[in-house]
A and B are shown apart, each in its own frame.
Chain A
């Protein structure tokens, strides 16, 4: 059994083989707390440490998870942004094409209106031409009728003249004809000439119209 003086706190430790170390404290010294850790506190430390460890691991997992999700969102945002730029570009192109096509549609509509107006004008020209054709056909028919009437009148007047000439010849040779025959012939001549004259008056009336 040996006794070793303590240089630090003045405590004297006695050490013996197979003997538990016992701290001897002088009675005159100030009472110091016993350094032995209780079992309960050790268990508590173990639990707390374990819990902290679990929390640390869990926090690490969560952080990893959050970083991963954040990265995925960031990647998707970039992808969406790229698609938006692409859609915006296509939209601008479509709008430009739409404006160009609208201009072409307006031009075609104008051309269509012009063509429609031209069709209506041509149809009207055709109708007016046909009206005129019918009118002139009617005029030709009327003139043909007038010419026929005039020919008839001329023929009647010629007969009248011929009959008058025959009457003159008869009157130059009164001995060759009976008075009744001469009177009858003269009446016939007068009738033919009156009819020819009346027809001529009608013809002149028609021509005057």
Chain B
């Protein structure tokens, strides 16, 4: 008789202790501050905007005025680096003086110009710094790629238009070796030398012509890279009027 009762008592004590062990704990102290730390602004992700709100593409694009011996014409160019501009050969040909102005109306003095024989491309060097230059894409665009063209059509305001690449074709003017690329971007006289940008803002070509079907043509960046890598392909452009 004693053993069952003792066992019962032991069980009761055990249950009691188990109950004590299951008692809820007191709440832990509350945190003193629920506000998370403010995120640190990543300055590298602020886009390619300058303090004046203009994009890198707008800032690097310049208006080229060719004061010729018999005429006055305008074109477009863009900064490759701080003192080097890229434009079309036909923009700088037959010139007595080249004048370059920026998106905000500043005039940049030109020191020299060189033209390429293998493509409708030219290099202009400037005395003053233009600012940050363009980033050249590693590869040519392919058919269907979206592009943006920044330039001065008809010598007017700086304008941005967009289009898509139609594909490779022969040079309609016969001015370039190899193939060029046709696009749907609408351009006008004065847009010659405009940079063609891909969706990442990299230069994939240089506008140099258009046809009656409102298609524009650009020299692909691969040819531009070849030209920049091999300076012997460039011929200095004389800035004077021949009496002849």
Query: Is B155 a contact of A131 with CB atoms below 8 Å?
Result: yes
**Contact among A51, A120, A135 for B9, CB-based, below 8 A:** A51
Query: Is A126 a contact of B105 with CB atoms below 8 Å?
Result: yes
Smallest CB gap from B105: residue in A: A123
Which residues of chain B are within 8 angstroms of A122 by Cβ–Cβ distance? 105
Contacts of A42-92 to chain B: CB distance below 8 A: 44, 47, 51, 54-55, 58, 62, 65-66, 68-69, 72-73, 76, 79-80, 83, 87
Which residues of chain B are within 8 angstroms of A128 by Cβ–Cβ distance? 155
A72 vs B25: C-alpha distance in the bound complex, in angstroms?
10
**Contact among B30, B53, B63, B99 for A76, CB-based, below 8 A:** B30
The number of chain B residues with a CB under 8 A from chain A is 34
Interface status of B56 (Cβ within 8 A of chain A): no
Task: Known A124-B156, A126-B105, A134-B65; judge A69-B26 contact (CB<8 A).
Answer: yes
A76 vs B34: C-alpha distance in the bound complex, in angstroms?
15
Query: Is B65 a contact of A131 with CB atoms below 8 Å?
Result: yes
A122 vs B54: C-alpha distance in the bound complex, in angstroms?
15
Query: Is A69 a contact of B104 with CB atoms below 8 Å?
Result: no
Query: Is B24 a contact of A69 with CB atoms below 8 Å?
Result: yes
A191 vs B195: C-alpha distance in the bound complex, in angstroms?
60
Interface status of A130 (Cβ within 8 A of chain B): yes
Contacts of B8-59 to chain A: CB distance below 8 A: 9, 12-13, 16, 19-20, 23-27, 30, 34, 52-54
Which residues of chain A are within 8 angstroms of B72 by Cβ–Cβ distance? 131, 134-135, 138
Minimum CB–CB distance for B127 against chain A, Å:
18
Which residues of chain B are within 8 angstroms of A87 by Cβ–Cβ distance? 34
Query: Is B23 a contact of A76 with CB atoms below 8 Å?
Result: no
A79 vs B32: C-alpha distance in the bound complex, in angstroms?
11
Interface status of A201 (Cβ within 8 A of chain B): no
Query: Is B12 a contact of A116 with CB atoms below 8 Å?
Result: no
Minimum CB–CB distance for A86 against chain B, Å:
9
Query: Is A120 a contact of B158 with CB atoms below 8 Å?
Result: yes
Minimum CB–CB distance for A107 against chain B, Å:
14
- Listed A/B pairs (20) with beta-carbon separation below 8 Å: A44-B5, A47-B5, A55-B16, A58-B20, A62-B20, A65-B23, A66-B23, A72-B27, A76-B30, A87-B34, A119-B103, A120-B158, A121-B157, A122-B105, A123-B102, A123-B105, A126-B101, A127-B101, A127-B105, A130-B65
